[in-house]
Amino acid sequence: MTNEVIHDAASVGAAAPAAPPSPDGEPWTTVIRPTASWLDIRLGELWLYRDLIWFLVRRNFVAQYKQTVLGPLWYLIQPLLSTIIFTIIFGELAGIPTDGVPPFLFYMAGNVLWKYFADSLSKTSNTFVSNAQLFGKVYFPRLAVPISVLATNLIGFAISFAFFLGFLGYFMLRGAPVGPNAWAALLPIQLLIMAGLGMGMGLAASAVTARYRDVTQLVSFGVALLMYATPIVWPLSEVPERYLLVALANPITPLVETFRYSFLGAGTVSFVHLSYSSAMAVLFLALGVTIFQRVERTFQDTV
Amino acid sequence: MPLAIQVRGLEKRYRLGVIGAKTLRDDVQRWWALKRGRPDPLAKVTRGSAPRTSGVVLALDGIDMDVEQGSVVGIIGRNGAGKSTLLKILSRITAPTAGEVRLRGRVASLLEVGTGFHPELTGRENIYLNGSILGMRRREIDQRLDQIIDFSEISEYVDTPVKRYSSGMRVRLAFSVAAHLDPEILLVDEVLAVGDASFQRKCLGKMDHVAKGGRTVVFVSHVMPMITNLCPEAILLEDGKVRVRGPSDDVVDAYIAAALEDQVSHVDVSGEGTEAFRIERIQLLDAKGDPIVAVGSGEALRVRIDYSSNLPRLSNVVVSLNFRDIRGAPLFACFSRHSRAQYLNLPPNGTLECRVSSVPLLPGDYTVGYFCKANEELLLGDLELFRLQVVDRDFFGTGKLPRRQMGPFLIRHAWHVEDRTAS
């Protein structure tokens, strides 16, 4: 049975680089030291705990719908309601142009994608706070928790996205000048970049909220504000020249624009912009994971 | 024998001030005060046994320890000696400040069973979730699923959500999962002491089994008979250092000798506990309510506990005072679950008083532990609160008392005679 030992193989990618063999030759499987090196991500160990990630996803999902009256229906109600409200306020009242796309589809596309990002950020940002009990009692790679959150969000996104495709089909049948194109094949990559951005920011925030509980409020406030700095309720094409760079500095902007272009045929697409988003995602992810792992090692002493 | 655990120069420092901060404002306040040369406004004012310099507690102060594969080692020491911190570092829950630990093989800890149970999931789903949290692969759980369910004795309810389980069923299921981990190194904490008797027996049986299978066990406890029975070898920690190591009988004797030196009734426990339940003061009173330092055999005792909590309200609380002899063997418990029909609902700041109408103990030294649960969640786990000194009284009114070998209790009783010769 012991060939299943997790820490054995774990340490190969983990603490092992510096683990010398013991006097009798058999190597140590785990070495515990005060400080881990800066980028000691232990992907090997995380891989060995992949079953845990799967069970956490199941738990998140099941718990989510068992504790609500409407269950998974929320994945449909939430984007539908926001889209209706956006359509009325920004489309009808404010009259913001929507690149010639039916406002309802325009806002729904933005909403569905934004929800995925916002959830990825805000639900990973309380990793430490909401798992304090668990983390205090048993060791496992802590990154399994935020990764499982991302995967759970992906299920939610898939449901909302299918709902969106339904509306898209309906509008196309009615002859609206919209429709998907080849760029849609990039969706998985877009989602990956988006998850990287959300998780990177979320992890950094989680490390801060572990220490300062009041930052939680700042996070939800920040996410709400960030939405208005992202082309969710406005198209990039309407941004005046002098603000264009500011709008593009937001790494989520190209993702939303590409998403809308791929499925609705209206928007701004550029590989340069997308490369910028990817670079930012890598940067945020590296930063987030690093901070997360620094905090992880001593979090229990500050609770 | 090759080593399973090698510990070198292990240190763990807790900065007292840092623990208090919860908001950014607190930290800014602290920084501002320190900048002006004022004392930290948030530093906790506590007195305790741990050595500290300028707000730093040295929970572990240079531990060196080797544990051979297949050995069973007991770790003893007073509260604050560093036992739990050592286990937390060995199980990788927290990182050391200095030093190094090397481990060979999979480590499992029975520090807490049932970690990560989700009430909405069924027993079966929770076995998988809990098992994978503890480090099992899905395949391993598949293989052992039937054994786990059998062992837990809840097979009929395995597809029922855990929220409908009694707490006993939950514990059985949780332990059953942990028991099937099959680790090379098993870490066991004294938390076991709060489980029921059959649960304890199961845990101990499992430990024995693990040890006989050539695995390594590190067992932390303050129940000395368990240490001497289960562990051939023991380590005594004192103020974060290894004080004695050797055959467990000798080490236990050394511990008891050290404890007896410290005859002063340990009522100064201010600041013990957690944010959720902090003990501010303990007072021992006699029947009239006057403070006492020792109680007479058979006399009334009132234990007053002033506590504070950061929770707005503590509901569905059960509390217990656990009386033990100086070797840690349990004698009796004053448990509100048994003596009260209802749960207690406590204000965030208050005083609990336990009135014992007669302390049924021979003269001598005893220890009293305390634990407290709110909504079935442990707020304070069997903390050794104080040492109780029982002094000589003429319990039976005959001037005589039994010898200690006959047991520690004094029970009111009478002998009667009936004559049956006439009938």
Element (H, E) at B352: strand B349-356
Cα gap B122→B292, rounded to integer Å? 52
Q: Which of A28, A60, A138 is the best substitution to test chain B (most B C-beta atoms within 10 A)?
A: A138
Please give the structure tokens belonging to residue A50.
């992949």
Q: How much is the pLDDT for B247?
A: 93
ipTM greater than 0.85: no
Taking residues A110-129, report their average pLDDT.
Answer: 90
Q: Which residue has the tokens 């004012």?
A: B45
Q: Among A126-140, B34-48, B242-256, B299-313, which is the least confidently predicted range? A: B34-48
Contacts B138 to A, Cβ<8 Å: 51, 54-55
What is the distance in angstroms between the Cα of B164 and the nearest Cα belonging to chain A? 14
Exposure on the CB side of residue B192, measured as CA atoms within 13 A: 26
In order, the DSSP letters of B181-195 are: ---SEEEE-GGGGGS
Q: How much is the pLDDT for B37?
A: 63
pLDDT digits (tens, 9 = 90+) for B187-198: 887 655 445 566
Contacts A66 to B, Cβ<8 Å: 120
Q: Where are the beta strands (DSSP E) in chain A?
A: 30-32
Contacts B3 to A, Cβ<8 Å: 22
> Across the interface, which of A4, A35, A302 has its CB nearest the CB of B140?
A4
Q: Does B34 touch chain A (CB under 8 A)?
A: no
Residue of chain B minimizing CA distance to A46:
B135
Q: Among A75-89, B231-245, B249-263, B305-319, which is the least confidently predicted range? A: B249-263
Q: How much is the pLDDT for A247?
A: 85
Q: Does A49 touch chain B (CB under 8 A)?
A: yes
Task: Look at residue B1 and tell me whether its pLDDT is greater than 90.
Answer: no
- B148-153's contacts with Cβ under 8 Å and 24+ in sequence apart are B148/B176, B148/B177, B148/B180, B149/B123, B149/B124, B149/B176, B151/B176, B151/B179, B151/B180, B152/B123, B152/B176
What is the distance in angstroms between the Cα of A69 and the nearest Cα belonging to chain B? 14
Cα gap B174→B148, rounded to integer Å? 9
The CB density around residue B388, as the number of other CB atoms within 10 Å, is 24
Are A132 and A213 contacting, i.e. CB atoms less than 8 angstroms apart?
Answer: no
**In 3-state terms, what secondary structure has residue A6?**
helix
Q: Which one has a higher pLDDT value, A185 or B39?
A: A185
Contacts B101 to A, Cβ<8 Å: 30-32
User: Considering only CA atoms, which of B398, B280, B257 is closest in space to residue B350?
Assistant: B280
Highest mean pLDDT among A6-20, B45-59, B158-172, B316-330: B316-330
Are A200 and A284 contacting, i.e. CB atoms less than 8 angstroms apart?
Answer: yes
Q: Does B345 touch chain A (CB under 8 A)?
A: no
C-alpha distances out from residue B74 to B55, B67, B173, Å = 31, 11, 26
Cα gap B142→B138, rounded to integer Å? 6
pLDDT band, very low/low/confident/very high, at A64 (cuts 50, 70, 90):
confident
The CB density around residue B81, as the number of other CB atoms within 10 Å, is 24
Q: Which residue has the tokens 């927290």?
A: B94
pLDDT band, very low/low/confident/very high, at A167 (cuts 50, 70, 90):
very high
Q: Indicate whether this model's pTM tops 0.80.
A: no
Please give the structure tokens belonging to residue B267.
């009522």
What is the distance in angstroms between the Cα of B41 and the nearest Cα belonging to chain A? 17
For chain A, give the mean pLDDT: 82
**In this prediction, what percent of chain A has a pLDDT beyond 90?**
34
**In this prediction, what percent of chain A has a pLDDT beyond 70?**
88
Task: Look at residue A140 and tell me whether its pLDDT is greater than 80.
Answer: yes
Cα gap B10→B101, rounded to integer Å? 7
Rounded to a whole number, what is the distance in angstroms from the first to the last CA of chain B? 75
pLDDT band, very low/low/confident/very high, at B259 (cuts 50, 70, 90):
low
pLDDT digits (tens, 9 = 90+) for A24-63: 556 888 888 886 655 566 777 888 889 999 999 988 888 8
Q: How much is the pLDDT for A14?
A: 37
Q: How much is the pLDDT for A25?
A: 55
